[in-house]
Structure 1
Amino acid sequence: RLSEFLSGIQVVKLNAWEPEIAKVIAEQRNAEGGFLMRGTALKLLNLTLFFVVPGFMSLAVFGLMQFYDTTMTPQTTFVTLALLQIVARTFQMVPRAVTAFSTASASVDRVEEFLRLDFETGLPPVVGADGQVAAAI
């Protein structure tokens, strides 16, 4: 593989394709930067939902209770807080599940790509000092 890589570099140099190759590499880097920015933005949204949703949920429930003039006895308040804690834990699991699913999906794609590689070609033969093929796999 290294010899293929070096011969590819030699072809690029001999044909003076450096500017074109540099342009392609720059485009690929810009595209990768866009993917990284998108991933970072999604991670930020994920963390924001993780911490903000439970508080907004409590605010909405108690705000609606106040709006509809529901009597807030200690019993009602503590039961409501306990239920909100249960619901908040559930909502906090959703961002984790999304992250775990995307990670698992990427891993499965990599494993699938590896398993679909062409193994027919094998490794290049090992040539001894006398020029004879010592081993071929």
Structure 2
Amino acid sequence: MRVVHIYVKDVTGYIEIKYKDSGMLHSIEFQFEMEDRAYRSMLDNIPISFAIPVFKSARFSAVEVPEEITFDMFWSRYDDKIYSSKKRSEAQWNRMSKANRCTAYNYIQRYFSKLPEWQTRKKTAEKYLSDELWNN
């Protein structure tokens, strides 16, 4: 789950937007009071794939709240238990920052979808982490 907090200039509180791992909207919570007209206007202008860019303006600021992602979550999602070394992968994982862990975890499906058809297999989990393939 990805969480984004939207801060509105001159307003106390924030809007919390949660997205499923698939990128689809999960929920929106307004952590301050506003008129119904303003709610409708906000909801009409929150496209799922553009939440952060849309709200990075003079009036708004958006900050993605990193989720605590465990190595077991990564290991399960990467799913390369035959060729990858769990011990080496976990050691590499433990050297990473929380932000990089979140990014690496969220990029796995995109990495798999971008593999060329001629490539017979993905890189091992430890190679994915050490080469920082999510930054390519």
TM-score normalised to the size of structure 2?
Answer: 0.19
Tell me which of the two structures has the higher relative contact order, counting C-alpha pairs closer than 8 angstroms and 6 or more residues apart: 2
Larger radius of gyration: 1
Structure with a larger share of its residues in helix: 1
* TM-score, reference length from structure 1: 0.19
Select the structure that is richer in strand: 2
